[in-house]
Amino acid sequence: MSKTLVDIDPTLLEEARRQLGTKTIKDTVNQALAAVVARSRRKGLVDLLVSGGLPDLGSDEVMGSAWR
């Protein structure tokens, strides 16, 4: 891990700390970054589903055998 000097809005930091339940600035920033990355990945998966990226999910034959 690297150290980086950065100006952080104290009001946003405190709100993020409350929402994330973290105690330190380091934990708050790391969890906030992880949450943004996870959100982006989830959005990518939702976009894939919405665009029909998994057509087998609509197939009764395929889905019928999925639960055996």
Both structure tokens of 18:
């409350």
Phi/psi-derived region of residue 3, left when phi > 0, alpha when psi is between -120 and 50, beta in every other case:
beta
pTM: 0.67
| Alpha-carbon dihedral 29, 35, 41, 46, rounded to 10 degrees | -150
CA-CA distance, 26 to 10, in Å (whole number)? 13
pLDDT, tens digit (0-9, with 9 covering 90-100), for 6-49: 999 999 999 999 999 999 999 999 999 999 999 999 998 888 88
Rounded alpha-carbon distances, angstroms, from residue 17 to 34, 41, 54 = 14, 23, 38
